[in-house]
Amino acid sequence: MRESELIERLESLFQSSSPRVIRGIGDDAAVVRGAGYAVVSVDAMVDGVHFRGSQLSPGEIGHRALAGALSDLAAMGSSPGEAYLVLGLPHGSDRDDTLAIAEAVQQLAVRHGVAVLGGDVTASPCLTVSVTVIGWVADPGMVVGRDGARPGDRIAVTGSLGAAGAGLALIDASVPADELADEVRAALRERYARPEPRLAEGQLLAELGASSMIDLSDGLAHDAAELARRSEARIELSLAALPLAAGVEQVAARLGADPRVFAATAGDDYELCVSVPGAAADRLQAAWPTASAELSWIGTVVEGRPGLVFSDAEGELTGYEHSF
């Protein structure tokens, strides 16, 4: 397929009916009616660095790239608006694979009310999917940064941890899947291959008084340490309090790892880690909808030297080593 043909196919795929879009794909730039403050993030995923093309379907690669970018908006408490896609395609890329990447991007986008308004398609030595996302907030005071954690705050995470890391271990075949029920294995793979950005939860946490927030892409031990660093605060977490995803215990055992250390250090879960002022925590928990991903309270912000400690860990935790 010639580049112009591909671009035509992408143009017709990424039609948007958003009333805020003045000009979409097909011009030098897109034009969108702004709505207060723009919240902007860019996330690049490169074959061999952030995933292995041989291990994921084209649709999973596309989904994962947009999900990773949207997760950054979730972590600011922002609703999503538009996305712009850069596809770097190796020589000889299959046209159907390329369209499958784009279709998965569009499906996830539509589900979250995101308009995909353009981007760039280029040759590249390896498959690269880079996504710019823009969200809009009416009040910049409602945006939650990484720097607002204060002593007395309580720390929570959404959902469950370790699933994506366990899913990757299964995909890598470094762990035989025989001991896991089919549906558990499939769920772990799905958490790695098609993570769901916690957009609704992020906005709710912002509304209900979160003081700082970050999404878990590099693993809790890394990302909570970043909250501590940016907030100049001391965060104390408990490994025992971490919510493990189903199957993580078995996978970690086969890797010879402590399951809670594994869950704290494996990346790609795209859950949210949040600090909440002590006075607001009970109110937040009471107001938390049962339909949302569960909240687990895993620690507190204490007085003392800035940094992250696990009160019940032996030694310092470092990132779980991915196989690539």
Q: With respect to a second copy, which residue has the nearer C-beta, 75 or 257?
A: 75
Distance CA(53)–CA(267), nearest Å, equals: 18
User: How many CB atoms lie under 10 A from the CB of residue 208?
Assistant: 18
Nearest residue (CB) to a second copy, 147 versus 316: 147
Of the candidates 16, 43, 149, 233, which one interacts with a second copy according to CB under 8 A? Answer: 43
- The span from the CA of 40 to the CA of 134, in Å, is 5
Nearer to a second copy, 125 or 256 (CB): 125
Q: Which of 206, 49, 85 minimizes the C-alpha distance to 140? A: 206
Size of residue set near a second copy by CB under 8 A: 61
Should residue 274 be labelled a site residue for a second copy when binding is judged by CB under 8 A? Answer: no
User: Smallest Cα–Cα separation from 158: which of 37, 251, 71?
Assistant: 71
Name residues whose C-beta falls within 8 Å of residue 225's C-beta, 6 or more positions apart in sequence.
235, 307, 308
300 backbone dihedrals φ, ψ, rounded to 5°: -145, 165
Site for a second copy in 76-115 (CB under 8 A): 76, 78, 82, 84-86, 88
| Residue 320 is a binding residue for a second copy (CB under 8 A) | no
Q: Does 14 bind a second copy (CB under 8 A)?
A: no
Q: Does 236 bind a second copy (CB under 8 A)?
A: no
Find the shortest distance in angstroms from Cβ 48 to a second copy.
Answer: 7
Cα(227)–Cα(212) distance, rounded to whole angstroms? 7
Q: Copy the structure tokens of residue 319.
A: 């990132």
Say whether residue 135 binds a second copy (CB under 8 A): yes
Minimum CB–partner distance for residue 29 and a second copy (Å): 4
Q: Which of 72, 196, 236, 269 binds a second copy (CB under 8 A)?
A: 72
Task: Report the alpha-carbon distance of residue 241 to residue 260 in Å, rounded.
Answer: 9
Sheet holding 234-237, edge to edge: 212-215, 272-276, 154-158, 295-302, 234-237, 307-310
Choosing from 119, 197, 267, 277, the residue that interacts with a second copy (CB under 8 A) is 119
297 near a second copy, judged by CB under 8 A: no
Q: Is 302 in the site for a second copy (CB under 8 A)?
A: no
Binding to a second copy (CB under 8 A): which residues in 177-216? 213-215
Dihedral of alpha carbons 90, 94, 96, 97, sign: negative
Q: Which residues bind a second copy (CB under 8 A)?
A: 22-23, 26-44, 46, 48-50, 72-73, 75-76, 78, 82, 84-86, 88, 117-120, 122-126, 128, 130, 132-137, 140, 143, 145-147, 213-215, 230
